[in-house]
């Protein structure tokens, strides 16, 4: 029995990371975004936490998707916390017939604090990607303008007219 468990674990670790996680990664990442809980997400996807951590370590794309899922989960948790801060939760006190509003948010605040740095890094990466896309777009527009100017200059030279002013 022990050999069977050991060989199964070895198979999980030696399988090709890209092929190995093709079946479970979408389930894992969706659950991670919903719960921010690696253990629960791995269980829902039907894999061990060792496998998900090994995959994250060896597959940069999976690691990026993991950070993105945590960022999404953090945003959802933050929104839920804000809602709870505004309206509270209805909880009946011991022995009471009517519920009263409770505003105990200590657990949610601890979760937010635990994921804050990871999310801040992911947001910085996303902002940098956006800046690169904007710069590439500006460069492409400038190149088109340069091509139009050169075409107009060539057309003017062939017709014997003056070239457009150089700026």
**Tens-digit pLDDT profile for residues 53-87:** 999 999 999 999 999 999 898 888 878 877 877 77
CB within 8 Å of 79: residues ≥ 6 apart: none
Quick one: CA torsion of 84, 90, 93, 96, rounded to 10 degrees?
160
Q: What is the pLDDT of residues 79-128, one digit of tens each?
A: 887 787 777 778 787 887 888 777 667 777 777 787 788 888 888 887 77
More confident of the two residues 5 and 39: 39
Residue 33's SS3 state is helix
Where does residue 16 fall: left (phi above 0), alpha (psi -120 to 50 degrees), or beta otherwise?
A: beta
Q: 91 pairs with which residues across the strands?
A: 100
More confident of the two residues 94 and 141: 141
Domain ranges of the chain: 2-159
User: Which structure tokens are listed for 71?
Assistant: 């960022």
Confidence category of residue 1, pLDDT binned at 50, 70, 90 = very low
Measured in whole angstroms, how far is the alpha carbon of residue 144 from the centre of its chain?
Answer: 34
The DSSP element (H or E) to which 102 belongs, if any, is: strand 100-102
Q: Cα(111)–Cα(125) distance, rounded to whole angstroms?
A: 22
User: Which structure tokens are listed for 5?
Assistant: 């468990």
Mean pLDDT, residues 27-43:
94
More confident of the two residues 34 and 107: 34
Q: Is 60 exceeded by the pLDDT of residue 4? A: no
């Amino acid at each position: 029995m022990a050999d069977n468990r050991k060989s199964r674990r070895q198979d999980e670790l030696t399988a090709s990371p890209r092929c190995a996680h093709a079946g479970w990664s979408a389930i894992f990442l969706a659950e991670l975004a919903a719960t921010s809980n690696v253990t629960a997400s791995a269980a829902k996807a039907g894999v061990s936490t060792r496998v998900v951590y090994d995959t994250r370590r060896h597959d940069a794309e999976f690691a990026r998707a993991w950070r993105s899922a945590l960022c999404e989960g953090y945003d959802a948790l933050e929104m839920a916390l804000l809602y709870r801060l505004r309206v509270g939760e209805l909880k009946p006190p011991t022995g009471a017939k009517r519920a009263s509003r409770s505003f105990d948010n200590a657990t949610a605040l601890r979760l937010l604090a635990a994921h804050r740095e990871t999310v801040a890094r992911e947001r910085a990466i996303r902002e940098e990607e956006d800046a690169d896309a904007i710069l590439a777009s500006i460069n492409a527009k400038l190149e088109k303008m340069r091509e139009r100017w050169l075409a107009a200059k060539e057309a003017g030279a062939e017709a014997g007219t003056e070239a457009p002013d150089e700026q």
